[in-house]
Chains A and B, each alone.
Chain A
Amino acid sequence: MSDTALVAVILVTLVTVAVGARGMRVARTPADFLVAAREVPPVVNASAISGEYLSAASFLGVAGLVYVDGVGALWYPVGYATGYLVLLLLVAAPLRRFGAYTIPDFAEGRLSSPLLRKVGTVFVLVIGWFYLLPQFKGAGITLAFVMGTPYWIGVVALGTVVTANIAAGGMKGITVVQAFQFWLKIVAIAVPAVVLLALTHPRAGALDRPVGATFPKAASVSITTPIAFNVTKAETVTGAGQLDGRTLTGPVRLEPGRHRVAAGSTLRFAAGAVAPSAIGIDELQGTSWSMPFARAGNGRQHPLAATYGLILATFLGTVGLPHILVRFYTNRDGASARRTTAIVLLLVSCFYLFPVVFGVLGRLEAPSLYLTNNTDSVVLLLPQIGVDGAGGIVLAALVAAGAFAAFLSTSSGLLISVAGALSHDLLDGSVRTFRWCTVLAGVLATVAGLRVADFSLNLLVGWAFAIAASTFCPLLVLGIWWRRLTRVGCLAGLLVGGLTSATAIVATMAGAGQSGWPAVLLGLPAIWTVPMSFLVMVVVSLLTPGSLPEDVEDKMLVLHLPERLRGRTAVSWPEAPSVRPDGPSILPEPG
């Protein structure tokens, strides 16, 4: 299996690099890119946005989280999709009409403040960096699964490929690559999901059994790292290796309680055995798996607050994702930006019908991951278990390729945004600087990626969303719809929202707030940081009318007047980038 899947992964990577390099020769300058971009029809553009958006968290993480946390985890994909509805309603058309390429562009252009550009840039770096980590984790576990390599090899491999590719000048505004990767991803998840649904008989009632997940047929579980696990019901296992410090020879009876198994061991469970779960995995029993509430920390206290924390972060965070906004500039005008967003909503909604299938079938068919604690791998494992023979090998290769497409597209888009923001908004903006910034950001993200193996993919992505929702969402929403937003108010809101949400998240990563209210308020901070950021922006703006930009009416007109009426107005309209005549900050002029 590993050979076929490895070939598929390498193929996806090569195609991405090759098409990216070819596109680079076509689009040499920002102007070329823009001319080409205007030819892109909404459906291609929407595919590209969806391709860049659906990351490791969507492709692997959603199924893994449903598998371990139950139905409540579905608030993640629901939120990721609803984020586009919010973007459509509040931001899409006005932002395109304004002509800003990046969020710092918008901040400076709308409020005529270079300082706001710098502050916005810092948050682009923070959000982009948080969002990069789960992509690297995804690559680490996928290569580990496909080839049996250690976790770090996948992380370093993705880091090297993406960093080298972008630093060498590939992947710039290559709409076609991202569009292709969306279709690859949806095929790679939909085909195995449909085949698995048809082949495995979903024992529906099994979702409601009072005990935990059981092995539907006898299964051998290979243990690659030492694991401490809990047994809830006495089982007899056979196998090889070290169990509880003794060498396994014949059948051993596992009594309820805590046990240890050494790396390199194999445990063989009989059909019908209740799957043990690793310490730290609170594997849900019976119908509690069906509770539609999100979880914070180790406990399940305050489910309503946790769920709304997640809802605020994901519904409002999409608006502020730095690598998504730039794609909206490739729409012809505000109206087509709206249509594009509506198509994106349709495309990602279709995609999210499938990961849940893996989560549900995984619980029924592949409970071994509760023991090995590799729950984010359920999408990769299930085709092998559920489909026999060559079909299983092909499907496993397909999902591995789709997963790699997810890491490549999202991490490329993010790295371009981060390196572009760093080089263009904080440094001199030359191609040389852009390249060094790419290398620096790539190396930093790779090193950090090595350390996040134990965090759930969606937890990491959820944190990026929480920071985006607490900073750029109020900036964009108030900037577009509220005339009285002032420079000082905007700055205060950005700083308060950004610092509080980032502090809460760093505290959670460091181990604070394991359960109860601290877990909810620190682990899912959007529930208080988003309202606070909005409030600070509004109150401080009202208190500082002196820092209101003079040309706010002008800006409102640019934001809201349909383009076709512009030609006959008395206002002189900024052509293309209304903010920066020197081109988009993510696209330095090739030297």
Chain B
Amino acid sequence: MSLEPIRPGREVVQAPPTGLAGSRPLPDISDLHPGNPYGDVLITGLVRAQLGLTLGFLTLTVAVIGSLPIVATLLPGIDRANVAGLPVPLLVLGAGIYPVLVALGWGYVRLAERLERRFAELLSRST
């Protein structure tokens, strides 16, 4: 969920340009084309970072929502549990689950946008 996997870009930023003659120019957006080793590494890093974020949220979704049937199986009295006269499974599946879904969605949108912003900054700083 961070830019961790984009190692090459990150290392370059950590070592600011020194202007030494003859050194390899820093990666530029124009490096982002297939066949260019710098570009390939950058785009692989971006895809990995995005995939990491996606997998993190998918794991959360499975843990919070996908696990509910198993939880219900492990709690044999679940059909008789009541809150305010309404069955607990009705409250969870009928209403309680939706705010969780929406929160997961918005959380992902925010983090994905931040990730892309940082990737853009990384490139513009290095040009």
Q: Which residues of A contact B (CB under 8 A)?
A: 71, 74-75, 78, 81-82, 84-86, 88-90, 93, 204-205, 207-208, 287-293, 303-304, 307-308, 311, 315, 335, 338-339, 341-342, 345-346, 349-350, 352-353, 356, 360, 481, 551, 553-554, 556-557, 560-562, 564-565, 568-571
Q: Report chain B residues within 8 Å CB of A481.
A: 47, 51, 54
| CA A86 to CA B120, docked complex, whole Å | 26
From the candidates A207, A308, A564, A565, name the one contacting B32 in the complex (CB within 8 A).
A565
Q: Closest CB-CB distance, B123 to chain A, in whole Å?
A: 7
Given contacts A88-B108, A205-B85, A342-B109, contact A560 B46 (CB under 8 A): yes
Give 22 pairs: A residue, B residue, CB < 8 Å, sorted on A.
A71-B93, A74-B89, A84-B105, A204-B84, A204-B85, A208-B82, A287-B79, A288-B79, A290-B87, A290-B88, A292-B78, A307-B69, A345-B101, A349-B102, A353-B95, A356-B94, A553-B35, A557-B32, A557-B33, A557-B43, A560-B43, A562-B120
Residue of A with least CB distance to B80: A287
Contact with A along B99-126 (1 / 0, CB 8 A): 1011011101100110010011001000
Given contacts A89-B57, A290-B79, A551-B34, contact A308 B90 (CB under 8 A): no
Q: Report chain A residues within 8 Å CB of B101.
A: 81-82, 85, 345, 349
Q: Closest CB-CB distance, A143 to chain B, in whole Å?
A: 29
Let me know if B23 is at the binding interface, CB within 8 A.
no
Interface pair B43/A553, CB less than 8 Å apart: yes
Residue of A with least CB distance to B97: A78
Q: A interface, by DSSP: helix, strand, loop or mixed?
A: helix
Q: Closest CB-CB distance, B38 to chain A, in whole Å?
A: 11
Chain B count of residues within 8 A CB distance of the other chain: 56
Interface pair B119/A562, CB less than 8 Å apart: yes
Q: Which residues of B contact A (CB under 8 A)?
A: 29-36, 40, 43, 46-47, 50-51, 54, 57-58, 61, 65-66, 68-70, 72-73, 78-80, 82, 84-90, 92-95, 97-99, 101-102, 104-106, 108-109, 112-113, 116, 119-120, 123
Interface pair A88/B109, CB less than 8 Å apart: yes
| CA A364 to CA B37, docked complex, whole Å | 68
| CA A339 to CA B108, docked complex, whole Å | 10
| CA A568 to CA B34, docked complex, whole Å | 14
Q: Closest CB-CB distance, A509 to chain B, in whole Å?
A: 26
Q: Report chain A residues within 8 Å CB of B29.
A: 565, 568-569
Interface pair B120/A565, CB less than 8 Å apart: yes
Q: Report chain B residues within 8 Å CB of A568.
A: 29-30
Residue of A with least CB distance to B89: A292
Q: Report chain A residues within 8 Å CB of B79.
A: 287-288, 290-292
| CA A564 to CA B95, docked complex, whole Å | 39
| CA A557 to CA B43, docked complex, whole Å | 7
Residue of B with least CB distance to A206: B85
From the candidates A85, A205, A353, name the one contacting B94 in the complex (CB within 8 A).
A353
| CA A71 to CA B97, docked complex, whole Å | 13
| CA A345 to CA B88, docked complex, whole Å | 23
Q: Report chain B residues within 8 Å CB of A82.
A: 61, 65, 101
Across chains A and B, which 9 residue pairs bring their CB atoms closest together, nearest first? A204-B85, A290-B87, A292-B89, A74-B93, A349-B98, A553-B34, A570-B33, A568-B29, A290-B79
| CA A556 to CA B50, docked complex, whole Å | 12
Interface pair B120/A85, CB less than 8 Å apart: no
* Best-buried of A303, A353, A481, A569 by chain B (most CB within 10 Å): A569
Interface pair B69/A571, CB less than 8 Å apart: no
Residue of A with least CB distance to B32: A569
Q: Closest CB-CB distance, A46 to chain B, in whole Å?
A: 11
